[in-house]
Amino acid sequence: MDLEEKEVLLSFQRNEITEHLVYRRLAKRMKGRNREILEKISQDEPRHYRLWKEITGEEVSPCRWRVFFYILVAYVLGLTFAIKIMERGEEEAEQVYSFMAQKWPQAQEIAQDEFEHEKLLVDMIEEERIKYVGSMVLGLNDALVELTGSLAGLTFALQNTRVVGMAGLIMGVAASLSMSASEYLSQKSEGEGASALKASFYTGIAYVITVVLLVLPYFIFSSYLLALAVTLVNVVLVIYIFTYFVAVVKEVSFRATFTEMLVISLGVAFVSFVIGVVARKTLGVEL
């Protein structure tokens, strides 16, 4: 075993003991089925650690900052997101595992667990917020498309940041209530019952957060062009962050989803900008 190979194996070994701690700590804050799944995965990791230790002949310590990071992500963005982010690193190591298995049979056993058994267990985890991703996407998409277009049109029609911000806030809050109510009635008509209220809640929350981020620049900056520019940057950031979240938990293409949402939102904003300019010149609105 050369020095480079040993460093790779030690990194795998450290990864196993680190993930053992992550899964064990996450299991402590879970109940029922999710706790059982996390405990089962946590129990597998020390065995993998010992298999790598048989090859390297060394003890390694867990990476404490990674443990803290994944626990924090689980608290903020949810259990499913944190675990799938963690498991993505193992998927990237699949080719290295296959290569190592040619020299050390233990690597094949670990790979079998990592890429089949654990993935099945992770997919069994139940989390409420993941059930309502569709509702959050609905609220986010509607807010981005509708409010981005409205703000762009009003910006060039009125050219007053305070007025545009106030109008955008009123429209946004009203639209979020309307969208929440529509989602509730839609879910109720499909016989969802109790989950209809939760679906409408997640839709409304996604909408309101988006509204706040988009109208905030108009209450900070006096230049309407700067306010619009910052709003468009916020649009891109919101789309990027939320698309990445959905791509991870739903395992869909990030690039395709991000591009689609971005083109639609900015396309509507451009059309509304043209309408705003035409309206100002045609109607002669001055504030």
Q: Is 5 exposed, middle or buried (0-12, 13-18, 19+ CB in 10 A)?
A: middle
- Using CA atoms, how far apart are residues 127 and 61, in angstroms rounded to an integer? 31
Among the residue ranges 12-21, 23-32, 85-94, 138-147, the one predicted with the least confidence is 85-94
Residues 74-130: tens digit of each pLDDT: 887 778 888 888 877 665 566 666 667 677 777 777 777 766 656 666 666 666 666
Amino acid present at 231: T
pLDDT (0 to 100) of residue 230: 92
- Using CA atoms, how far apart are residues 102 and 171, in angstroms rounded to an integer? 63
Q: To 10 degrees, the CA torsion angle through 244, 200, 147, 260? A: 40
Residues 198-224: tens digit of each pLDDT: 777 777 787 888 888 889 999 999 898
Q: Report residue 246's pLDDT band, with 50, 70 and 90 as the boundaries.
A: confident
Domain assignments of the chain as residue spans, ordered by start = 3-126, 129-283
Among the residue ranges 15-19, 70-74, 244-248, the one predicted with the least confidence is 244-248
Residues 154-163: tens digit of each pLDDT: 887 778 889 9
pLDDT (0 to 100) of residue 132: 66
- Using CA atoms, how far apart are residues 37 and 120, in angstroms rounded to an integer? 10
User: By the 8 A CB rule, do 168 and 215 touch?
Assistant: yes
